[in-house]
Amino acid sequence: MSDLRPLVVVDRSLADMSDEVLCQRVADRDEAAFDQLVERYQGRAYRLAWSIVRDAEEARDVSQEAFIRLYQSAGSFGGRARFSTWFYRLLVNLCLDQRRKTRWWRQIFAGSDGAGRPGEDAGESLLDRQPAPATDPLEGMAKERETDRLWAAVGTLSPQQRAVVILQAQEELSTKEIATILKCSEATVRVHLHRALMTLRRTMGNE
Amino acid sequence: MDSRHPETELIAYLKDELPPRSRETVARHLEGCAECRGTLADFRTLLAGVAAAPAPTPAWPRYRAELRVRLESEAGRRRWSWWRRPFPVAVSAGLAAAVLALVIVAPSVWRNERTARNVEGLNGFEEVVLGTRLDLLRQYPVVERLDMLEDLDVIRQLDGLEARREG
């Protein structure tokens, strides 16, 4: 059980620092600052990665890779954008690359897209898993089924559309920030979001 | 009411990113268009649903431990980048030694060869000169007995001496 012991002892003063300051310290090879950023972003990074790649193992791999890139290239964060925008851009690009790489064999092994139901993480034992966020407002079996349907519908979106929906819904980023992350225009982000929501609406039978 | 249904403007309206005048226009349209009001309400519900939907959650201590291991192995890999690994180092060192040897040894070999060719050339030249002076060599026993400083006249007359002797 030793591997379940928290490895990170977070410095209280670091906990008060902004993401941008922590990133500057990571650029100076401050390991504690890096651990602090990982603590802050691990949940959102993993969730965002999972939402795009729809595979628990890949989400783990890609989100960890994003943190490694963060450690290696923290010096290139110019501070012009928010740290979160810069980091999400790194992460989303890795996710989209991952999708492109795995697309061909997913087609071969169609039927097992590795997504599974949320909470059914094939790569982990029951002991590894932690409870879903306590903020989940959906209760009861009917709502659980609706959630499953919604995630299945999200799974049918293109990776770009899915990324826009997740960044909008979960991170509540501005259109400008999402455009920066996806390297496209704000108009394109709005078109992606509109089409994605229309597709979801149709799939969920609301139309 | 504006008869054109707002599409992407609806998204901007939802995100509260429209300039005041456009926002007013969309708001006016929504007042009179039940279809767009329904679409907007559905968009809000869907986004709320996606925001609240639970994603799988890994065990974070294990996640961070794995990340640390990956980070360290990555750092090790970068430290031993390809051109610093044993095999490329050996190949590079071998190549460098070969080039060095070529630079040092080749000119001296070339120089020796050239010198040998020069010596050969010099010997040939001497033989030609000697060939032209064979008559003098034939008089060598006479020359041998002469005192160089005192008998210069005799030396000057050597050719005549021979001719007279034959005559």
pLDDT in tens, A12-50: 688 889 999 999 999 999 999 999 999 999 999 999 998
Range with lowest mean pLDDT among A39-43, B81-85, B119-123 = B81-85
- Is there a contact between B63 and A71 if contact means CB atoms under 8 Å apart? no
- pLDDT more than 70, % of chain B: 60
Among residues 97-116 of chain A, which lie with CB inside 8 Å of chain B?
116
- Is there a contact between B70 and A68 if contact means CB atoms under 8 Å apart? yes
* pLDDT band, residue B52 (cuts 50/70/90): confident
Instruction: Report CA Rg, chain B.
Output: 54
- pLDDT more than 70, % of chain A: 74
Minimal-distance CA residue of chain B relative to A49: B55
Q: Minimal CA–CA distance to A130: which of A2, A4, A1?
A: A4
Measured between alpha carbons, how far is A192 from A205 in angstroms, rounded to an integer?
20
- Is there a contact between B62 and A174 if contact means CB atoms under 8 Å apart? no
Query: Which distant-in-sequence residues (6+ apart) come within 8 Å of A10 by Cβ?
Result: A32, A35, A36, A39
Sequence-separated contacts (24+) of A125-132 with Cβ below 8 Å: A127/B59, A128/B58, A128/B59, A128/B62, A129/B56, A129/B57, A129/B58, A129/B59, A130/B57, A130/B58, A130/B59, A130/B60, A131/B57, A132/B54, A132/B57
B50: closest CA of chain A, how far (Å):
6
* pLDDT band, residue A130 (cuts 50/70/90): very low
Q: Tell me the average pLDDT of chain A.
A: 80
* pLDDT band, residue B104 (cuts 50/70/90): confident
A143-165: average pLDDT: 87
Measured between alpha carbons, how far is B11 from B18 in angstroms, rounded to an integer?
9
Q: What is the pLDDT of residues B16-39, one digit of tens each?
A: 899 999 999 999 999 999 999 999
More confident residue, A204 or B156: A204
Chain B residues with CB under 8 Å of A64 CB are 63, 66-67, 70
Q: What is the pLDDT of residues A168-182, one digit of tens each?
A: 998 889 999 999 999
More confident residue, A166 or B81: A166
Range with lowest mean pLDDT among A103-112, A150-159, B99-108, B151-160 = A103-112
- Is there a contact between B61 and A3 if contact means CB atoms under 8 Å apart? yes
- pLDDT more than 90, % of chain A: 49
Chain B residues with CB under 8 Å of A166 CB are 50
- Is there a contact between A130 and B59 if contact means CB atoms under 8 Å apart? yes
* pLDDT band, residue A122 (cuts 50/70/90): very low
Q: Is the ipTM of this complex over 0.85?
A: no
Q: CA-CA-CA-CA torsion for B154, B155, B159, B164, nearest 10 degrees? A: 20
